[in-house]
C-alpha cells in the first residue's frame, strides 16, 4: 500500500515547545517541511496537552491556579446529557480559542506551499491514566467512563483532522500517547489486551491518515500492529530496542506506514555533547538490522521522516537549545536526502 504521508526524510516535530509567545513558536514550527501548531504550556495553563484534550469532557474540574486537573463522577453524569446533545455536531469537538491561541493562528495562515501539515491531541489511554477521580483512581479503570472516553477523543481528533484537511489535502494527526509505555508493566492494572481493544475502537472512528507519537519505550510490536499510518518515536534513546523489531516494522511499512525517527536531542546536556556527524552515523547504524529483516532501503527511506528526539520544557536557556536542535534537524535532513538522492 502506498504511504498516505510524505516521507523521504523530510522534517516534522512533536508539538510542545518552551516558548511563552505565539509568533516565535509558530515561526519555528513553520520552518520545518511538515509544520504543526505548537502547544505552549508556558504561555497558558490551557495550552497544556491534558487540559486541551479535556475541553467539553463531562466531569472535568480545572484548577488553573494550582496547575491541576481532576475528574468528578457525579459531575460526569450531570454533564453527560449536554455532551450527547452535541454529539452529531463535529465542530463542537474542535479546540476553542481559549484552549489554544496557536491553533487558531495556524489555521489563519496560507499553508498550501507545504508538502503536508500536522495536528495533534492527547490520546485516550494516556488521558485516562493521568486524570484521577475523587478517590484518586485513574478514570480509565471506570468501565462506564472509559468507552465514552475512547469515543469522545476520537470525535475530537476527527474534528481537528477535518479542519486541517480543509486547509491542506495532506493533513494528518499525531495522537500523543506517552502513557502507553506503562501499560505493559505487571502493576499497571490496565492490561495490554484491554488497551488493544480500546485503541482499535478509537482508531476505527478516525479518518486516515493518523498515527501515534510517544517518547517512551513500550512494546513496539503492539504499536506497530495497530491500524495507523505513522509511528513517531524517540529513536535517540530507544534505537537499539526498536530496531530489534524488524519483522513487525517490515509489516508496518508494507501496509504503507511511515516512521518518524526522533533523532535530534533537545535537552541542553545531551545536545551539548552531540554532533551531527555522530547522530547521522548512529541512525545509519540502526538500518542494517532492518535490511536484514527484509526491508529495502528504497522502501525504508521514502517512508521515513526526521524529527527531534523529544520535547523539552526545562532547559535553562528555554527555547535556545530547542531552536538549535531544529536547525540541526533541517541540516541533517538535507545531508541525508542529498546522500541518498531523495526528492
Which three cell numbers, joined as nine digits, stand for 119?
495536528
pLDDT, average across residues 310-317: 88
Which three cell numbers, joined as nine digits, stand for 84?
450527547
pLDDT, average across residues 292-319: 94
pLDDT category, 314, cuts 50, 70, 90?
confident
- pLDDT at residue 180 is higher than 70: yes
- pLDDT at residue 313 is higher than 90: no
End-to-end alpha carbon distance in the chain = 20
- pLDDT at residue 66 is higher than 80: yes
At 86-118, the pLDDT tens digits run: 999 999 999 999 999 899 999 999 999 999 999
Instruction: Report the C-alpha gap between 139 and 161 in whole angstroms.
Output: 26
Q: Cα-flanking dihedrals φ and ψ of residue 214, to 5°?
A: -155, 155
Q: Where are the domains of the chain?
A: 10-339
Tabulate helix, strand, coil % of the chain (nearest 5): 50, 15, 35
The model's pTM is: 0.95
- pLDDT at residue 133 is higher than 80: yes
pLDDT, average across residues 268-278: 94
Q: Say which residue, 185 or 88, is predicted with more confidence.
A: 88
100 Cβ partners below 8 Å, 6+ apart?
37, 39, 46, 47, 52
Choice among 174-188, 243-257, 271-285 with the minimum mean pLDDT: 174-188
pLDDT, average across residues 308-314: 90
Task: Return left, alpha or beta for 80; rule: phi > 0 is left, psi -120 to 50 is alpha, else beta.
Answer: alpha
At 7-35, the pLDDT tens digits run: 999 999 999 999 999 999 999 999 999 99
Is-contact 329 5, C-beta < 8 A?
no
Instruction: Report the C-alpha gap between 159 and 136 in whole angstroms.
Output: 31
Closest of 128, 143, 158 to residue 57, by C-alpha = 128
At 280-303, the pLDDT tens digits run: 999 999 999 999 999 999 999 999
- pLDDT at residue 190 is higher than 70: yes
Mention the CATH class of domain 10-339: alpha beta
Q: What is the mean pLDDT of the chain?
A: 95
Report the pLDDT value the prediction gives residue 186, as an integer from 0 to 100. Answer: 62
Report the pLDDT value the prediction gives residue 187, as an integer from 0 to 100. Answer: 65
pLDDT, average across residues 155-168: 98
Report the pLDDT value the prediction gives residue 259, as an integer from 0 to 100. Answer: 98
pLDDT, average across residues 33-56: 96
Q: Cα-flanking dihedrals φ and ψ of residue 55, to 5°?
A: -55, 125
- pLDDT at residue 328 is higher than 80: yes
Report the pLDDT value the prediction gives residue 184, as an integer from 0 to 100. Answer: 76
Amino acid at each position: 500500500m502506498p504511504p498516505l504521508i510524505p516521507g523521504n526524510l523530510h522534517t516534522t516535530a512533536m508539538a510542545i515547545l518552551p516558548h511563552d509567545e505565539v509568533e516565535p513558536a509558530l515561526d519555528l514550527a513553520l520552518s520545518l517541511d511538515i509544520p504543526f501548531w505548537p502547544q505552549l504550556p508556558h504561555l497558558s495553563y490551557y495550552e497544556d496537552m491534558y487540559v486541551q484534550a479535556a475541553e467539553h469532557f463531562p466531569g472535568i474540574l480545572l484548577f488553573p491556579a494550582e496547575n491541576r486537573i481532576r475528574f468528578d463522577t457525579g459531575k460526569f453524569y450531570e454533564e453527560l446529557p449536554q455532551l450527547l446533545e452535541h454529539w452529531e455536531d463535529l465542530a463542537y469537538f474542535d479546540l476553542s480559542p481559549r484552549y489554544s491561541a496557536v491553533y487558531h493562528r495556524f489555521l489563519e495562515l496560507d499553508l498550501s506551499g507545504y508538502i503536508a501539515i500536522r495536528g495533534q491531541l492527547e490520546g485516550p489511554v494516556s488521558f485516562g491514566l493521568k486524570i484521577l477521580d475523587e478517590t484518586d483512581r485513574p478514570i480509565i479503570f471506570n468501565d462506564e467512563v472509559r468507552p465514552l472516553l475512547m469515543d469522545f477523543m476520537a470525535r475530537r481528533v476527527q474534528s481537528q483532522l477535518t479542519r486541517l484537511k480543509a486547509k491542506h489535502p495532506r493533513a494528518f494527526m499525531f495522537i500523543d500517547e506517552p502513557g502507553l509505555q506503562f501499560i505493559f508493566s505487571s502493576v499497571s492494572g490496565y492490561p495490554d489486551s484491554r488497551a488493544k481493544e480500546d485503541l482499535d475502537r478509537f482508531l476505527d472512528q478516525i479518518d486516515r491518515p493518523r498515527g501515534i507519537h510517544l517518547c517512551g519505550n513500550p512494546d513496539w510490536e503492539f504499536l506497530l500492529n495497530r491500524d495507523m499510518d505513522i509511528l513517531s518515536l524517540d529513536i535517540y534513546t530507544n534505537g537499539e530496542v526498536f530496531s530489534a523489531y524488524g519483522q513487525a516494522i517490515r509489516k508496518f511499512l508494507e501496509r504503507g506506514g511511515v516512521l518518524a525517527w526522533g533523532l535530534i536531542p533537545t535537552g541542553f546536556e545531551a545536545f551539548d555533547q552531540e554532533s551531527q556527524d555522530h547522530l547521522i552515523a548512529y541512525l545509519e547504524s540502526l538500518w542494517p538490522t532492518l535490511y536484514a529483516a527484509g526491508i529495502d532501503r528504497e522502501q525504508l527511506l521514502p517512508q521515513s521522516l526526521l524529527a527531534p528526539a523529544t520535547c523539552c520544557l526545562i532547559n535553562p536557556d528555554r527555547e535556545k537549545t530547542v531552536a538549535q536542535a531544529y536547525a540541526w534537524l533541517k541540516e541533517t535532513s538535507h545531508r541525508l536526502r542529498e546522500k541518498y538522492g531523495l526528492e
